[in-house]
Every structure is written in C-alpha cells, then in structure tokens.
Structure 1
Amino acid sequence: MDTTHLIDPDIAGALALLPPLDLTPEGLGAVRAAMAAAPTPPLPDGVSEEEVFVPREGKEPVRVLVHRPASLAPDAPGVLWIHGGGYVFGSPDADRALSGTYALALDAVVVSVDYGLSPENVAPGPVEDCYAALRWFHEHAADLGVDRSRLAIAGASAGGGLTAGLALLARDRGEVPLVMQFLVYPMLDDRTVTTDDPNPVTGQFVWTPTYNEFGWRAHLGTDPGSAGISPYAAAARAEDLSGLPPTFLEVGALDLFLEEDVEYARRLVRAGVPTELHVYPGAFHGYQMAVDAPVTRTSFQLGVSALRRALHPAAAETPRQDGTDGATVDG
C-alpha cells in the first residue's frame, strides 16, 4: 500500500534528504564510508566534548564521547546515549549535536557510546559494549561530577533496541541502578521480519522491511525469527519485563517498528513498569530529522520533560511559579 498520503505534511520534505541505502554485504562498506565523510554536526554553544576509551580486561576498549554543559551544577545526573543505524552503521560523532542538546536541556552529563557494529560485532557484542560504558559511567560518576543514583539510558532506533536490551542486562546483573530507559522508535523485535501479517501502512519510508531483515541478520549472526534469540539482543524476546526502570517510548504511526513498540509498551504496563507511550500520526521512522516540524518540537519537549522528571525528581516535585515543571524546551 502506498502511504504517502498519510505522511504529516510538515515532515514530508525531509524524505528528499535521504538517498537510498545499499544495505547489502557488498554495499555496506560504501554506506559507512559515505556517512563517515559527511560533515560532523557542531556541538551547541556551551557544551564541551571529551573522548575517553573505557578499558576492558581481555577486550578492546570502548570509545565514548562525554558531553558536559559549561554551567553544570555539582552532582548532576547522567544519561548514556546509544546511537542508531540498524545495528550496522552510525556513530556517536554523528549524534554529537543531539547529545549536546540533551546535555543542555537536561542539565546533565551525556555519555555517547561507540559500540562495535554488526556484522563484525554480533550480539551480544554491541550490548556488552554498552554495558561496559554504563558500568564505567557508574563507577567514575564522581570524577565526572555525576550523582551515580541518577543515571538514565537512552537511544534511538537500533540504539533504542540496545537501550532496551541494556536495561534488561542491568536489571539482571544488579550492578547499576537506572532511573529511566528512554526509547525513541526502538528496534526491538527480530520477529517483525518473519511475521505472516505485516502492517500494510508501516515501513514504506526510511527503514523498510528489506533493510530490517539485513540489520537483524547482521546483528544476530543468524536468521531473524530463529528460536533461542537472547532478549539482550532483541528485547521483545524477554519473557519477564518486571523490575525494569520507568520507561518513555515514542514512535511514528508509519514506522515499521510501530506494532512491536506498542506491544512492548503494553507488556511493560502489565508488568507494573511506569510507562509513557507516544504515537505520532503521519510520522515515519526517523521523523525527527525534520528538526523544525511541529511534531519534532512536540516530541522533543515531551521527551525532555519525562527525562527531567526522572533525573531531577526534587525539581519536579516543586512546581515553578509559572505553573510548569521547568521542562519545556524551545527545540
């Protein structure tokens, strides 16, 4: 079904900015090279960046970028950000402007993870990279000026999928407490590739079923939909979602991930996890690239508001004189 008529007109023009991707074993290198050659977005004014290599015994260190507002108060909260890219491309460098924007909006230190990409680094490699960065963040919180009791994890697309897997891993290992998992159109369920009843109005734009199959196959190192897939690799496979941190989840109504994301939110609610879900009509995967569109501004404001309530609970309990919680941001 052609769903062009369903697109929010305020974001339709952004589709022209995206060239088709040759997501094949032969074409992946060229896709990555083209993205690496693209100009790196500048950091917002008032945000510093530090590159750190997190050591690991017997393994390669994990590179992270630490973004810190110049006006940061002592004992600030922290956010671990995980970039998207279908598990096969992307980098924290491409997300540096976004990470810096979150750091400013949240009065927080944002650590962005350069996890190993698939197929070179198959599951559980990427989520273990993210866990190493999270554990380092927690252990070195004082050195970073961060209150280790106020850490959230966040990510978009495949980064959202890794965020959900990381929340499960952190819950099960019991080493790092989290105040929120923040999931932006997360890639959660490899079984979407093999469903007999695909949604006829999702997945036409940006991230298609063909791309999805390639990404999952590369990430898992086996056929999507196979038995025995770990929930740390595909969070929707988890049988028990209880004990996870409060969750914010947003997705567009035209996104291929719509149904897996809504189902995950439903299951979180049934497991007793405080969950906030937003579905945006007319929005395709990655709609936030239309940075000035009303839906993008709205989603950013709602997301920042939720994160601020989790990261700054004392401030949220004390309304400002203007009647707001101080979370509104002009994006």
Structure 2
Amino acid sequence: MDAEDRMDPQVRARLDQYVSIVGPQGLSGIGSITARRRKQAELAALRPGTAAHHDMEIRDVSIRSTAPPHAAVPARVYRPAGSTAGAPCICYVHGGGMVTGSVDGDDAKAAELARATGCVVVSVAYRLAPENPYPAAVDDCFAALSWIAEGRQELGIDPGRIALYGPSAGGCLATATALLARDRGGPEIAYLTLVSPMLDDRSSTPSTYVNTGFGAWSREANLQAWEAYLGEDFGTDHVSPYAAPARADDLTRLPPTYVDVGDLDLLRDEATDFAQRLMRAGVPVELHVYPGGIHGGESLAPRADLTVRVRARRHSALRRALRVQDRRPLEARNSRADRSR
C-alpha cells in the first residue's frame, strides 16, 4: 500500500477538493512566495466570515521588541469567559513555513485553543521571511513571551503557568524561543506544545523524500521556506540552533514537551527524532504519531474524526500540564471531541 492509499479517508477527500481548486500541488506548488500569499488570501476570502467569539474577550495589542530595530510586534489576546485572575497563558505561534500565515488567518484556531483549555491565549504576528529573515521572527516571539511574563498583572495570568504552542513553522519558532529563554535565564516556560514542527533546515530525513507531493506541504516548498528564512546561511554549517532547533546540541533544561505528527507528514522524522533527543536529555515528553495524518491535515479537514481525536488529546494534555480545572459545561465535556480521547 503506498502512502496516498494509507491517508486518512476523510482527510483525503478534503485534500482532493482542495487540489481541484488550487492545482495538483496545492499552494506549495506555486513557486513564487508572493503569488502563494495572494492565492492564500483569495482562498481565505471564499470561506465564511470569522464567527464572532461571544464567549471570550478579544483585544489587539502592540508589543515593543527589545531587539533592534525595536519594531512593534502585533498580537491578539483571547480571554475565555469565566477565566479568573491567575489563569494560565499560552503563547500561540502560527504556522506558514516562515513565509505566510497571520494572526487573522489563525483566529479561529487561537480562539478554539482558549475555549478548549480555559487559558488566556496570546497569538503573535511575527515578521515573515524573506523580507525579514532570521532572527526577526524568533526575536518577535521572544518579545511576546517576555511581554506576557512581565505583564502578568495586566493580563491577569499566572507567570508560573505559561506555555508555548506552535504548529509547523510555529513549532520551530516556539522551540527556538524556549531555547532562548533557557539560555537567557527566563522567562520561565511551563510547557511546550509542538504540532508537526518544522525543525531541521537540512531536510535530509527519509520522510522528507517519501511523504511529499500529495498537494499539501512539499519538500520543495519546505526547502524554499528555509532558504527564505536563513538567507545566505542556507545550505551551510553556519545555521544557528535558534534558527533551526534540530541543530541544537544541548536540549537539557527545556520545558516538558508535547509533540504530535502524522505518519505521512514529511516532517515526521525530524519531529520524532527531536522528541527522542529531548527524552535522552531528561526532558519529559509526550509523543504521538497518527496513522494516516499528513502535514496540514487538520486545517484541510477540521471536522474529520482524526482531527477531532488529535485536538482533544492535545487540549487534554495542555489542561493537565497547566493544572486547569475543566470548567466547560457538561455537554461540552461530553462532546464527540472529548469522547474520542
């Protein structure tokens, strides 16, 4: 059975619809980053408008970066109804291969994360490559983390219960931010959640050659994204571990970490390799590899049984790690998502 035949059938059905609209290689088949962003915006305009989140308070903020050129870092804060002073906080770092993605594009995901976990969520609008290569994005994420820790009274959060959460490229930036926080002596991070993380610029593992070409994220797009982010360091041995965390030699003293990835994700090997290295370094790790899952499958098929199961387990782990009492209504806790845990 080949990789495409092993794909989750509900995800496969949505992928087939997607490539019929975008083209056989999806967005990653569009060679120009500018054209890819334009197409992504066109697709977003076709979706229903963002639902109003009446069950939470949402506000946009501007964070001043401490790194030159001290640019303002936009962010969006989500506070679920019923959250009290001293609530835990999740710093959410969106995906997009370092070259696309936005707070607006991940608005529904960030709101759902706040809703499902009961945490305050701060979603960071970091600068994108190639216009802003490394270290711009990780500087912005570290600035947001520092702002969260320093503004705990304004945010009404517990500085001892701050998590970093990143899908795909966001997983790279969340991990890099955790490395920076460790090496700079803070802020303290209680938990790190990595979803199909993009960690290794070398793209040399077997899964990067085999699990590609489905019409989701491709090996070619992955390499192009790293080149855009790393600039002249791409393809050399001069890449910093704060840029590509798979290159970090020392993984000790990182926070407890949750990693999940699909077994048909081209980033599968770097995610599982990194999880194993964390374990060997003495870091508590929860690792899940989901049969039939592809890179970006959750976004393609948000209501698929696989997606529901994956998110329910991830949200449950966050609530446990951040010591959140589940105050959702009984019917919500007994929903299909929670029954599938």
Q: Same fold (TM over 0.5)?
A: yes
Query: What amino acid does structure 1 have at the position aligned with 2:197?
Result: P
C-alpha change, 1:33 and 1:330, in structure 2 (3 Å) is: farther
Give 1:32 shift. 1.7
- Do the aligned partners of 1:43 and 1:100 also contact (CA within 8 Å) in 2? no
Structure 2 distance, partners of 1:139, 1:300, is 30
Q: Which runs of 5+ in 1 are unaligned?
A: 317-323
Picking from 19, 32, 38, the partner of 2:37 is 32
Contact 1:73/1:107 (8 A) holds in 2? no
**Match of residue 107, structure 1, among 111, 118, 127:** 118
Q: What amino acid maps onto 2:260 in structure 1?
A: E
Q: Taking structure 1 as reference, are residues 22 and 261 closer, same or farther at Cα in structure 2, changes over 3 Å only?
A: closer
The corresponding residue for 1:56 is 65
Q: Report the Cα distance in structure 2 between the residues aligned to 1:277 and 1:269, rounded to whole angstroms.
A: 10
Work out the number of aligned pairs and report it. Answer: 318
Post-superposition offset of 1:142 = 1.1
Matched with 1:126 is: 137
Preserved contact between residue 32 and residue 89 of structure 1 (Cα < 8 Å): yes
Establish whether residue 98 from structure 1 lines up as the match of residue 109 from structure 2.
yes
The answer as to whether partners of 2:207 and 2:268 remain within 8 angstroms in 1 is no
Q: How does 1:161-240 map to 2 (within 5 A)?
A: 161-192=172-203, 195=204, 201-205=210-214, 206-222=216-232, 224-240=234-250
Secondary structure at 1:142 match in 2 = helix
Judge conservation of contact 1:297–1:330 (CA < 8 Å) in 2.
no
Instruction: Report the residue type matching 2:51 in the other structure.
Output: P
In structure 2, relative to structure 1, the CA distance for the partners of 1:251 and 1:43 (3 Å cut) is farther
Report the 3-state secondary structure (helix = DSSP H, G, I; strand = E; otherwise coil) of the residue aligned with 2:71. strand
- The 8 Å contact of residues 22 and 28 in structure 1, kept in 2 or not, is answered as no
Gapped runs of 5+ residues in structure 2?
Answer: 327-332
With 16-25 and 46-55 compared, the bigger mean Cα shift is at 16-25
CA RMSD of aligned residues (A): 2.3
**8 Å contact from structure 1 (residues 68, 109) kept in 2:** yes
Once the 2 structures are TM-superposed, how far is the Cα of residue 13 of structure 1 from its aligned partner?
Answer: 1.3
More divergent stretch after superposition (292-301 vs 27-36) = 27-36
| C-alpha distance in structure 2 between counterparts of 1:36 and 1:297, whole Å | 26
1:136-147 alignment runs, 5 A limit? 136-147=147-158
CA contact (8 A) 1:150 1:179 kept: yes
- Whether contact under 8 Å (2:176, 2:244) holds in the other structure is yes
Separation in 2, partners of 1:145, 1:66: 12
2-structure distance, mates of 1:221, 1:213? 12
Pick from 306, 309, 325 the counterpart of residue 320 of structure 2.
309
Q: 2:12 aligns to what?
A: 12
In the alignment, residue 154 of structure 2 is paired with which amino acid? D
Q: Please give the alpha-carbon distance, in whole angstroms, between the structure 2 residues aligned to 1:182 and 1:22.
A: 25
CA distance in 2, matches of 1:301, 1:196: 29
| 1:320 aligned residue | none
For residue 232 of structure 1, give the secondary structure of its aligned residue in structure 2: coil
Aligned residue in 1 for 2:273 = 263
Q: Secondary structure, in 3 states, of the residue corresponding to 2:164? A: strand
2:56 to 32, 47, 50: 47
- The Cα offsets for residues 213-245 of structure 1, whole Å up to 9 and x where unpaired, read as 100000111364410211111010000000000
Q: With structure 1 as the length reference, what TM-score do the two structures score?
A: 0.90
Q: Which residue identity is paired with 2:195? A: V
1:283-309 deviation line (CA, Å, top 9, x unaligned): 110111211211111111110111111
Counterpart Cα distance in 2 of 1:196 and 1:225: 15
Asked if 1:275 is matched to 2:285, the reply is yes
Q: Which TM-score applies when normalising by structure 2?
A: 0.87
What amino acid sits opposite 2:159 in the alignment? R
1:48 maps to a residue whose letter is E
Partner SS, residue 130 of structure 1: helix
Percentage identity across paired residues of the two chains: 42
Q: What one-letter code is carried by the residue in structure 2 that aligns with 1:68? A: R
C-alpha contact 2:252 2:283 (8 A) present in aligned 1: yes
Shift of 1:126: 0.5
